[in-house]
Amino acid sequence: MTDIERLLAIEEIKRVKAKYFHGVDHQDWEEWRRDVFTSDVSMMMPDAMKEPVVGFNAILAWVKPLMKGAISIHHGHMPDIEILSDTTAKGMWAMEDQIFWPDASATGRTYLHGWGHYHETYERTPAGWRIKTCRLSRLRIETR
């Protein structure tokens, strides 16, 4: 891979992560399916689950009820993306999110403000770069 190809791959991965944030904040789950994840993606959020959720459909079954009626704001900053091969990469993103739920029925809380890092791997598929694994490590959470 040339330096230009590497830089283009990094920019394509940044766009995938932007679509991740847009998709969750707008609850556009079809954007996630079409543009963000591999079908066999693995997601781990230790503060919200005990074991990773594996497979896009399983992630959607977990996240849709959790986010129903919520307003969320997700920000990703300072990506550190390393291209490992023509078809694989890894990255880390500093993150901040705020989620407002209309009531506490889905989560036991009405507000969450968090800071931390996304640790991800990426795979280049025929449709482009996609998130293959995603683990969120939080540094701080404020809730009510």
Statement: residue 53 has pLDDT above 90: yes
Confidence at 105, pLDDT banded by 50, 70, 90 = confident
Statement: residue 42 has pLDDT above 90: yes
Percent of the chain surpassing pLDDT 70: 100
What is the rounded (10 degree) CA torsion for 21, 37, 67, 136? -70
pLDDT at 91: 98
> Which two structure tokens, joined as six digits, stand for 64?
């849709």
pLDDT at 128: 98
How far apart CA 138 and CA 144 sit, in angstroms, is 17
pLDDT in tens, 63-97: 999 999 999 999 999 999 999 999 999 999 999 99
Closest by alpha carbon to 31, among 18, 45, 13?
18
Confidence at 22, pLDDT banded by 50, 70, 90 = very high
Percent of the chain surpassing pLDDT 90: 98
Using a 10 angstrom Cβ sphere, with 0-12 exposed, 13-18 middle and 19 or more buried, the burial of residue 52 is middle
In the block, which residue shows the tokens 């995938």? 16
Length of the chain: 144
pLDDT at 106: 84
